[in-house]
Amino acid sequence: MATRQKKNSRFSGLAVPAVCLCILGYYGFHAYQGSLGIKSRSAMEQKSLDLEFELARLHEEHASLKIKVGLLRNGRVEKDMLDQQARHLLNFVKANEYVIISGKN
């Protein structure tokens, strides 16, 4: 009985390395371009820096408000501050007063 042997193709040895190369290329692309990749890291760092500045600004605003609240505690009300807030909220001005409008509260 005669047996016939199959002749090996030139490309049969390249199939597994080609598939592995495609998989590595896919993951490499997403490691660089993905939402958590190398390219988006600088955007995340910039956003983190912006949020730190916002947090510092909010801490300053909190300290300012804490001082204002401290003036209203313990039964001692600053008459000037009470007058200023009442006039601001009610839009009330006496006839002999001048109004200076500023951007800050």
18-74 pLDDT tens trace: 999 999 999 999 999 888 888 889 889 999 999 999 999 999 999 998 987 877 776
pLDDT(105) > 70:
no
Q: How far is CA 12 from the centre of its chain?
A: 51
Q: So what's the pLDDT on residue 86?
A: 80
Residue 94: DSSP 8-state: -
pLDDT of 29:
94
pLDDT score for 1: 63
- What average pLDDT does the segment 1-28 reach? 84
| Dihedral of alpha carbons 71, 74, 78, 79, sign | positive
Higher local confidence (pLDDT), 44 or 1: 44
**Rounded to 5, what percent of the chain is helix, strand, coil?**
65, 0, 35
DSSP label at residue 37 = S
Return the exposure string of 13-30: e unless at least 16 CB atoms fall within 10 Å of the residue's CB, then b: eeeeeeeeeeeeeeeeee
